[in-house]
Amino acid sequence: MNAAIRAIVRTAISENLDVYGVYRGYEGLIDGEITKMESHSVSNIIQRGGTILKSARSKRFMTPEGRARAYENLLNNSIDALVVIGGNGTFTGAVEFAREYNDYPVVGLPGTIDNDLYGTDYTIGFDTAVHTVVEAVDKIRDTATSHNRLFFIEVMGRDSGYIALFSGVAAGAEYIIVPETKTYLDNIARLLKYDLRKNKTSGIVIVAEGDDQGGASQIAEKVKERLPEIDTRVTILGHIQRGGTPTPNDRVLAGILGNSSVKALREGHHGVMLGLVDKKVVETTFEDAIRKKKDFYFGLLELARTLAI
Ligand code: F6P
């Protein structure tokens, strides 16, 4: 997100626009936590995780009173357009806000590690999260192989298996469990048993937290009931996936989209999320970005199984 903020601020300044940062997302907009940004305000942040502007989930912005205060603060600061960075919640708020306040110009950038937004190949933060997961799994594999254990590793993704999918393929997991497919534990137990009997002494199963059979702990328990002879362990990676040095791919994506957001607003476009599809910046209405289901790359699930023999 910092790389995106930097790109927005510096593009705006290069186009002789005044640019303001709003702290804590919609919460700060309601409370008037707004500050003028200069070029140096975004110096030395491109390599930092998190966001210098901080972030918050805002219940108050879901109310008409909250949005009215936000609008007042925008008027008081003579701010006539907004760039919001986030996912479903952020864009839902933006749609409601623009509807109430004469089509107030808002452009969105896809900022979520889950990569679950329609209208962009990748979301800002996804690549970094996958990178972190793969590093962690590589380390866990040392214990798995040395102790002949089967590890169930839980990654984030409440409704989306993208982090599990990409990190599972990249880390050479034996099995990847995602919410996009129904999970049949008997099948998984059978395949794992076969793998472990045939040619393996250890295994890695990546579990997306939002799976229909539960998280890694529940799934490990159920597999253990079917394979009591196997030594299993569970690791939940949690919030390490949401921090750390952003990867070059994420920084480039954030730079392109941050820059394009200022240009889009100047050209009078709004009510859209910007994304990168096949190396081109595309605009998708907030409604579509939220409601349409991004294609899931099912082929990678098969690839993981093929390569895990
Ligand atoms: O929405 C993105 C996400 O990273 C989910 O994958 C995860 O479940 C959630 O955020 C964690 O949110 P919080 O930090 O509020 O617990």
Render each residue's pLDDT in the chain as its tens digit; 309 residues: 999 999 999 999 999 999 999 999 999 999 999 999 999 999 999 999 999 999 999 999 999 999 999 999 999 999 999 999 999 999 999 999 999 998 999 999 999 999 999 999 999 999 999 999 999 999 999 999 999 999 999 999 999 999 999 999 999 999 999 999 999 999 999 988 888 878 888 999 999 999 999 999 999 999 999 999 999 999 999 999 999 999 999 999 999 999 999 999 999 999 999 999 999 999 999 999 999 999 999 999 999 999 998
Q: Give domain status of residue 195, yes or no.
A: yes
Q: Is there a single domain that holds both residue 58 and residue 188?
A: no
Q: How far is the CA of 309 from the centre of ligand 1 (A)?
A: 33
**Pocket, ligand 1, Cβ cutoff 6 A:** 87, 112-114, 156-158, 209, 242
| pLDDT given for residue 299 in this prediction | 97
| pLDDT given for residue 167 in this prediction | 98
Q: Is there a single domain that holds both residue 143 and residue 234?
A: yes
Q: How far apart are CA 187 and CA 51, in angstroms?
A: 42
How many structural domains are present in the chain? 2
Q: Is there a single domain that holds both residue 43 and residue 87?
A: yes
Q: Give domain status of residue 222, yes or no.
A: yes
Give the atom of ligand 1 at the shortest distance from the alpha carbon of 163.
Answer: 6
Give the atom of ligand 1 at the shortest distance from the alpha carbon of 239.
Answer: 14
Non-local (6+) Cβ contacts of 85 within 8 A are: 1, 4, 5, 51, 108, 109, 111, 124
Give the number of C-alpha atoms closer than 13 A to the C-alpha of residue 234, restricted to the C-beta side: 17
| Domain around 155 | 128-243
Which residue is closest in CA terms to ligand 1's atom 14?
A: 239
Give the atom of ligand 1 at the shortest distance from the alpha carbon of 160.
Answer: 6
pTM, two decimals, is 0.96
Query: Please, what is the Cα angle at 238 between 234 and 243, to 5 degrees?
Result: 140
Q: Give domain status of residue 29, yes or no.
A: yes
